[in-house]
């Protein structure tokens, strides 16, 4: 009885299990079949016929097919519903999210999204084109043969590139071969190939004509080229009426295994027709001038980086007539203002778990620069790290270097300084919180070893002991204020006061500075005993849910106790240094005022003061006022306006006026610049007129494609940025 009962249970279990797996398989098969089920293709038109034998649609008159994101319209269509092959005629238009292709005839497969279009036109933003034949390879690529393309959508484009073969990857890039560049119907120049990423908003071809006092009439041109995804660059060809031709090229590269970098070369055989070097007939006027720049970065591994730069400058004009002439200053002033004496070096940086090591080789390449060589310099840095489970923190900085301080020619080499120095500092600190105060006392020892003294004789070892502490606190109060007084949109106020006091002392070094060769600030260290004080006041509110600093006002100064040496202003004895005031004010989201000033309390005057007031009144509509005061440098005022009048016109004004006469400057305008921009359908034109005391009158015109509006020419001006203009607008790779 029990055995029979068990057998019945086993059979029931098998039946249930079999039923369960049949049910699961049924669900799976149903889902699979649903997934594999072909989406039906629907053909609409004035007249549509379907043959069950050939499985073909024949449609005519306003035919439309919309299938898997692709829309086809034409006047006549034959389409196989099984293979999805179709032949369309009469104003055939193929459209998807990546672009549009049009033609009189086309063959197309809706499954593979490939086909051929005869006598076609195409659009793949931002390009418009025409071709004898377009072959659609896939959803992401088509090839146009024997045609032209442009970013101008007029039937008679303002400019175009006529090509034997154009390969378009919609939304990604364009590659063309055997190109002739046309302006209107006029062929201008030939390009063997043209590659452009549609994600790149920079122009590939740039022209800047103009006139400048020391150049005469000029034309600066640049052609950006892409050999492949890893090698890109620029070819430069410039003409200056008073100086002649100049040419150069740049190369940007990247590799998977050895990093990336850029190379730049610029050369001119200059024939100076200006009067800058005098008007005597027998003085030299032809000069060889060029420079080479190579920069490279390489992430060797996750913890190791390499950075290098190399600058080589050959300038026979400077060699003859002195440092007033400099190829970087004359042709690339933006680079010159960033770094007037560029260094050549190789730096390797390696990260350990809690510290880092730097290896630097820095060699002077250009002999007319006074520069410091480091052959090599090795730095080890251990930032503030906690010592075990104790409350103490430790910090170490160690530097070993072989220095050669070389003076510019024609200074004799006997004035150069060479020295080997090992400098190490060890700092212990104990950060803590005492009531409402944040306190961090510290002690530090610094040992410095020199291979020789100021007389190039004996070995020296110097020791300096430091101690000090930093104390800070934060006090705040919240005011429940909600007001739109004067439209300021105040949603609560928080007032924050943060006082900070930092005390530092170091005793007189065991070796005085007058016994050491002076390389940098480390060799200049003397006894120091001072307190640094800073008081910050902030007033905050919320706008659109975001925290905003309405007012941020800071005052800081340092009090020195009986310094052994006079300061930069010649003051002796205990005293406060100059007081620095900083104010950042944002009363409205569209108004900002930043000001700073330095007050010399010892002689009771402000040595300098700067202020900038900016109004942001809409897209491409802003006005700025600037003021700079220097006690011995006079007072200057600036005004800048950038204003779009309508979709076609925009203007800009920049004025810099000197109020007080100084030994260097007369009263009056230092610089004026006026810009008018006009939308020319597919082009943007900017006409710029600039007047400066140093360079006289300059005029230049810039043409930019609307499809690629970004340029490497800079036009923004403030006190804190380089002054733009034709001399600062040379394209850089």
| pLDDT tens per residue across span 369-385 | 999 999 999 999 999 99
**Residue 722 pLDDT:** 33
Place 569 in a pLDDT band, splitting at 50, 70 and 90.
low
Asked if the bond preceding 539 is cis, omega within 30° of 0, the reply is: no
Q: Quick one: what percent of the chain has pLDDT higher than 90? A: 50
Using the predicted structure, report yes or no on whether residue 181 has a pLDDT greater than 90.
Answer: no
How long is the chain?
733
| pLDDT tens per residue across span 645-656 | 998 999 999 999
| pLDDT tens per residue across span 642-700 | 999 998 999 999 999 988 777 667 788 888 999 999 998 888 888 999 888 777 788 88
Using the predicted structure, report yes or no on whether residue 297 has a pLDDT greater than 90.
Answer: yes
Pairing state between β 621-630 and 432-434: unpaired
Using the predicted structure, report yes or no on whether residue 52 has a pLDDT greater than 90.
Answer: no
- Quote the CA–CA distance of 462 and 453 in Å, as a whole number: 11
Q: What is the pTM assigned to this prediction?
A: 0.73
Q: How far apart are the first and last CA of the chain?
A: 95
The residue ranges of DSSP E strands in 45-158, in sequence order, are 47-51, 56-67, 70-80, 85-96, 99-109, 114-124, 127-138, 141-150
C-alpha gyration radius of the chain: 36
Helix (H, G, I), strand (E, B) or coil at 29: helix
- Quote the CA–CA distance of 392 and 441 in Å, as a whole number: 10
Least confident of 226-240, 295-309, 415-429: 226-240
CA dihedral 95, 100, 103, 106 (to 10 degrees): -50
* 146 φ/ψ sector (left φ>0, alpha ψ -120 to 50, else beta): left
CB 726 within 8 A of CB 233: no
Using the predicted structure, report yes or no on whether residue 317 has a pLDDT greater than 50.
Answer: yes
Of residues 59 and 574, more confidence is placed in 59
Q: Could you tell me which of 50, 55, 104, 102 has the C-alpha nearest to residue 76?
A: 104
What is the number of alpha carbons within 13 Å of residue 157 lying toward its C-beta?
20
Asked if the bond preceding 497 is cis, omega within 30° of 0, the reply is: no
Place 459 in a pLDDT band, splitting at 50, 70 and 90.
very high
- Quote the CA–CA distance of 707 and 136 in Å, as a whole number: 24
| pLDDT tens per residue across span 582-611 | 999 999 989 999 999 999 988 889 999 999
**Residue 640 pLDDT:** 95
**Residue 529 pLDDT:** 94
* 53 φ/ψ sector (left φ>0, alpha ψ -120 to 50, else beta): alpha
Residues with Cβ < 8 Å from 153, sequence gap 6 or more?
123, 128, 682
- Quote the CA–CA distance of 727 and 330 in Å, as a whole number: 7
Bridge partners of 452, per DSSP, are: none
- Quote the CA–CA distance of 611 and 155 in Å, as a whole number: 52
Using the predicted structure, report yes or no on whether residue 498 has a pLDDT greater than 60.
Answer: yes
């Amino acid at each position: 009885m029990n055995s029979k009962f068990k057998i019945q249970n086993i059979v029931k279990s098998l039946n249930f299990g079999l039923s369960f797996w049949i049910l699961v398989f049924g669900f799976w098969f149903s889902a699979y079949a649903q997934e594999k089920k072909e989406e039906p293709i629907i053909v609409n038109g004035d007249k549509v016929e379907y043959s069950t034998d050939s499985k073909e649609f024949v449609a005519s008159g306003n035919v439309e097919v919309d299938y898997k994101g692709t829309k086809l319209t034409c006047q006549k269509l034959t389409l196989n519903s099984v293979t999805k092959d179709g032949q369309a005629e009469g104003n055939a238009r193929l459209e998807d999210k990546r672009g549009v292709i049009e033609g009189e005839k086309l063959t197309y497969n809706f499954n593979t999204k490939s086909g051929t279009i005869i006598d076609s036109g195409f659009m793949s933003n931002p390009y418009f084109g025409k071709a004898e034949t377009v072959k659609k390879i896939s959803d992401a690529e088509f090839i146009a043969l024997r045609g032209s393309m442009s970013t101008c959508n007029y039937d008679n484009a303002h400019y175009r590139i006529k090509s034997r073969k154009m390969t378009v990857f919609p939304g990604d890039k364009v590659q063309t071969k055997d190109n002739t560049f046309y302006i209107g119907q006029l062929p201008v120049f030939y390009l063997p190939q043209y590659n452009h990423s549609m994600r790149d908003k920079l122009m590939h071809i740039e022209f800047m004509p103009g006139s400048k006092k020391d150049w005469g009439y000029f034309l600066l041109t640049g052609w950006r080229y892409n050999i492949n995804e890893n090698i890109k660059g620029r070819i430069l060809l410039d003409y200056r009426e008073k100086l002649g031709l100049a040419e150069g090229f740049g190369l940007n590269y990247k590799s998977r295994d050895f990093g990336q970098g850029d190379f730049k070369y610029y050369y001119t055989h200059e024939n100076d027709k200006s009067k800058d070097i005098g008007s005597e007939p027998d003085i030299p006027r032809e000069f060889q001038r060029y420079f080479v720049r190579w920069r490279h970065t390489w992430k060797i591994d996750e913890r190791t980086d390499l950075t290098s730069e190399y600058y080589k400058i050959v300038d026979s004009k400077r060699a003859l007539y002195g440092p007033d002439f400099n190829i970087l200053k004359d042709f690339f002033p933006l680079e010159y203002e960033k770094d007037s004496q560029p260094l050549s070096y190789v730096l390797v940086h390696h990260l350990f778990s809690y510290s880092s090591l730097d290896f630097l080789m820095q060699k002077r390449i250009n002999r007319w620069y006074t520069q410091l060589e480091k052959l090599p310099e090795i730095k080890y840095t251990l930032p503030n790290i906690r010592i075990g489970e104790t409350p103490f923190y430790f910090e170490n900085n160690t530097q070993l270097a072989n220095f050669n301080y070389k003076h510019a020619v024609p200074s004799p080499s006997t004035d150069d300084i060479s020295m080997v120095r090992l400098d190490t500092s060890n700092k212990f600190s104990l950060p803590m919180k005492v009531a409402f105060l944040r306190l961090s006392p510290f002690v530090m020892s610094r040992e410095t070893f020199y291979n020789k003294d100021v007389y190039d004789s004996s070995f020296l070892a110097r020791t300096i002991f430091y101690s000090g502490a930093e104390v800070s606190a934060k006090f705040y109060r919240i005011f429940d204020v909600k007001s739109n007084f004067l439209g300021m949109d105040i949603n609560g106020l928080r007032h924050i006061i943060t006082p900070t006091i930092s005390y530092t002392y170091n005793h007189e070094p065991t070796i005085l500075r007058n016994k050491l060769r002076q390389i940098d600030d480390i060799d200049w260290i003397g006894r120091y005993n001072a307190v640094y004080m800073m008081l910050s006041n902030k007033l905050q509110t919320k706008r659109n849910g975001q925290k905003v600093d309405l007012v941020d006002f800071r005052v800081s100064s340092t009090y020195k106790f009986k310094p052994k040496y006079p300061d930069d202003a010649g003051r002796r004895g205990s005293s406060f240094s100059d007081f620095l005031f900083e104010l950042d004010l944002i009363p409205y989201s569209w108004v900002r005022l930043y000001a700073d000033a330095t007050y010399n309390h010892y002689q009771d005057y402000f040595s300098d003061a700067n202020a900038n007031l900016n109004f942001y009144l809409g897209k491409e509509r802003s006005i700025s006022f600037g003021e700079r005061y220097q006690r011995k440098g006079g007072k200057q005022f600036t005004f800048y306006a950038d204003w779009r009048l309508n979709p076609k016109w925009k203007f800009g004004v920049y004025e810099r006026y000197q109020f007080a006469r100084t030994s260097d400057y007369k009263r009056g305008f230092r610089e004026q610049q006026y810009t008018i921009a006009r939308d020319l359908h597919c082009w943007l034109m900017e006409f710029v007129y600039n007047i400066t005391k140093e360079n006289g009158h300059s005029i230049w015109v810039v043409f930019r494609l609307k499809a690629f509006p970004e340029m490497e020419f800079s036009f923004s001006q403030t006190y804190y940025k380089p002054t733009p203009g034709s001399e600062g607008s040379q394209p850089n790779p």
